[in-house]
Structure 1
């Protein structure tokens, strides 16, 4: 595809009915997932609590979100996105409002209960939109661009979310940041739930096996590889902190993840403009291998300037990797399970991030090389899984457009 054709397809995707409002609403509604962990940490600190309590509340929120998303995704596949998102968003708003009204540090049991409820009631906007893409755009090229827009814009969520939470905490209070999580979640949910596609009937309501999309061997392999990807991303944040401490450059803590995100934005834009001329299964393998290879030098780097460069490089493959992953996920999902399959994918990446953060944190006392080994080896393992059992994700229908 030429650059001109790619630009035309991008314009067609953005101007297609419902696409821009749904994308904007989904991004707004997803901001709380990036804001809440920071807001909880800052609320605990403001109340005189310790980092351990703040970290535990943030972990409970993320874990509850990861566990609940596949269940909410299954509900969407059985009903419609709009009602499920509206109910979940209302519960999340009430829960964040309650968190903003209590002393989080003084009442850890209540705070933990509310954090779990807030995470579990996260509206399934991300998985819902990704399941809708094949019905919102036409043709493989526009579908690839739509998924690329989705994956690339995710970086904006994780760049803006912590900044908004921190700014509100410093300018007003951590309680204001928690309340804003509820408000933004409701605004995004309303923007999505009131659009016509949120009321569309699922394309298939046939009887589905109790295991849902997990009965697909190819999807199970994809989930295992993306769990490793999540581990690498979670450990990378700890590596950024470890390198900042080692070099006495506190700015590295935020700048290294930002460099990864900027690389992902650029990589996503490039992938949208210039498609890779190989089947999807090969694209997935190449993107995962490129990500792993670019991560490897971080195990040996300590100079801040080099750390920035080698944090930027893996990002170039991250957005293409996520884009192809969600396209393959949709192709592998059995009929009637598309939303749940996307939710499982989101969940395992989130669980991997939690595992990576915990493992890298445990190794922090052994130096930056030990910490860096976690994301490097996790990325390598993801590549190895796809390389050794790639036949499971390369059926013939992965090279053609999937029918509804």
Structure 2
């Protein structure tokens, strides 16, 4: 059964973390998600260490990400029909075995086997991220604290994309790429095990209404959110290319990591502030404010290519990134038909991943024209994400009143 709400006039992060099961579920989920940020770096460096072409390493990393984007909604639907624990345990074991095999295979020597294993590892990625987001309304039943819970989730996500590549790179430098792949196997399987043994992971999914084959995609409001999140993914993917392009232009390799880190730091700070500051407006208007603020603060990046100003400007839009993600996932939970919350969250994650891949490819095509040309992609993508939401606000207004969740 849902847990009794804590008594607090303005629940914050400490109130959320003080709830039973929350610290263990959050920590296990974060650990299980580390391989998603480690694997692309580890695969690329593993191929290079074996003397293989960079193209093969990039292909393995891209296929891993694409397979994960496809697999998440499918596994999310299985969770909605059963429970999170068995799906997490099985998928974590499969992904761990695939990474372990990649660690001993020799990716450049056996490209076809490596491709199959990378696809398997991606497709079987445990749905712990959408699973936790679907459980938040039941872990934190009082609506005042749910905003802090989703903000905590979105802000802590930035730690994964900072720590994951760093851990993979350090292991590759200090040991070998095979060690990074082996660590991905151990961390992923260990995190999945930690989640699957928790009581909330064994809660039965809420009773499903009569849901068509399309599942949560029959919600027009959710489709609007998915379109906006796709453009947000394009923004994030192309921004990474912009960072690399600027680093090449100024012969400053540190820029390639510092710009995404600045955006992530801004997002972490923005998530913490959002969790503490009351936004006295309906959830749909919070989403519009966050999307509009993100787009407006991203625009100046198109007008400078100097390193120091670009780093400073990268921090500013990040302040709205975690609130934008937090509100989007709260609305996703409310817009999804009953019994499809996990799949809905998985679709949100999937379209962001697909958008990132598209943004990386599009910005990569423009890289030869310099940073100014590349910068147009993330700036326009952020504007389009906001424009999509502002165009049909009526599809979101119905989610301003939360639904009651039952165990």
Do both proteins adopt the same fold according to a TM-score greater than 0.5, normalized to the shorter chain? yes
Q: Secondary structure at the match of 1:292?
A: helix
Aligned to 1:41: 44
Structure 1 Cα separation of the partners of residues 375 and 27 of structure 2: 35
Residue matched to 2:70: 67
In the alignment, which residue of structure 1 is the partner of 2:92?
Answer: 89
SS for the counterpart of 1:393 is: helix
1:250 equivalent in structure 2: 253
Question: Counterparts of 1:170-319 in structure 2 under 5 Å?
Answer: 170-319=173-322
Q: Distance in 2 between matches of 1:163 and 1:189?
A: 21
Looking at structure 1, the residues matched to 252 and 304 of structure 2 have their Cα atoms a distance apart, in angstroms, of 14
1:52-89 CA deviation, whole Å, 9 max, x = no partner? 11111000000000000000000000000000010000
1:116-175: CA deviation from partner (whole Å, max 9, x where unpaired): 000001000000000000000121121100000000000000000000001111111100
Residue 140 in 1 paired to residue 140 in 2? no
d(CA) in 2 for partners of 1:141, 1:108: 51
Query: 2:383 maps to what in 1?
Result: 380
Q: CA deviation at 1:51?
A: 1.4
Instruction: Supply the distance in 2 between the matched residues of 1:339 and 1:261 (Cα, whole angstroms).
Output: 25
Q: Distance in 1 between matches of 2:292 and 2:31?
A: 32
Say whether the 8 Å CA contact 1:9–1:141 is kept in structure 2: no
8 Å Cα contact 1:266/1:316 also seen in 2 = yes
SS at match of 1:399: coil
Calculate the TM-score normalised by the size of structure 1: 0.97
Counterparts of 1:155-166 in structure 2 under 5 Å?
A: 155-166=158-169
Counterpart CA distance in 1 for 2:264 and 2:339 is: 33
Please say if residues 243 and 257 of structure 2, whose CA atoms lie closer than 8 Å, have aligned partners that are also in contact.
yes
Compute the TM-score of the two structures, normalised by the length of structure 2: 0.96
What displacement does 1:366 show?
Answer: 1.2
CA distance in 2 between partners of 1:291 and 1:11 (Å): 27
Q: Do 1:268 and 1:320's aligned partners in 2 also have CA atoms closer than 8 Å?
A: yes
Secondary structure of residue in 1 paired with 2:107 = coil
Q: Is the Cα contact below 8 Å between 2:95 and 2:121 reproduced in 1?
A: yes
Structure 2 unaligned segments of length 5 or more: list them: 1-7
Question: Are positions 1:357 and 2:374 aligned together?
Answer: no
Deviation track 1:317-372 (CA, whole Å, cap 9, x = no partner) reads 00000000000000100011000000000000011000000000011011111100
Q: How much is the aligned-residue C-alpha RMSD, in angstroms?
A: 1.0
**By how many angstroms is 1:5 displaced?**
5.1
For 1:149, the equivalent position in structure 2 comes to: 152
Tell me the residue number matched to 2:400: 399
Give the C-alpha shift of residue 37 in structure 1. Answer: 0.2
**Match 1:77 to one of 71, 76, 80:** 80
Alpha-carbon distance between aligned partners in 2 of 1:262 and 1:158, rounded to the nearest angstrom: 11
Which stretches in structure 1 are left out of the alignment for 5+ residues?
Answer: none
Paired with 1:325 and 1:184, the residues of 2 have a C-alpha distance of 28
**Residue 73 of structure 1: SS of its match in structure 2?**
helix
State the match for 2:17 in structure 1. Answer: 14
Q: How many residues align?
A: 398
Which of residues 106, 111, 133 is equivalent to 1:108? Answer: 111
- 2:305·2:372 contact (CA, 8 Å) conserved in 1? no
Residue 99 of structure 1 pairs with residue 97 of structure 2: no
User: Following the alignment from structure 2 to structure 1, what is the Cα–Cα distance between the partners of residues 244 and 15?
Assistant: 42
Tell me the distance in 2 between the aligned counterparts of 1:169 and 1:14.
Answer: 34
Tell me by how many angstroms 1:302 deviates: 1.1
Aligned partners of 2:208, 2:385: CA distance in 1, in Å?
33
Q: 5 Å matches for 1:22-37?
A: 22-37=25-40
Residues 100, 176 of structure 1: 8 Å contact kept: yes
| CA contact 2:229–2:385 (8 Å) conserved in 1 | yes
C-alpha distance in 2 between matches for 1:9 and 1:51: 46
Task: Supply the distance in 1 between the matched residues of 2:281 and 2:252 (Cα, whole angstroms).
Answer: 42
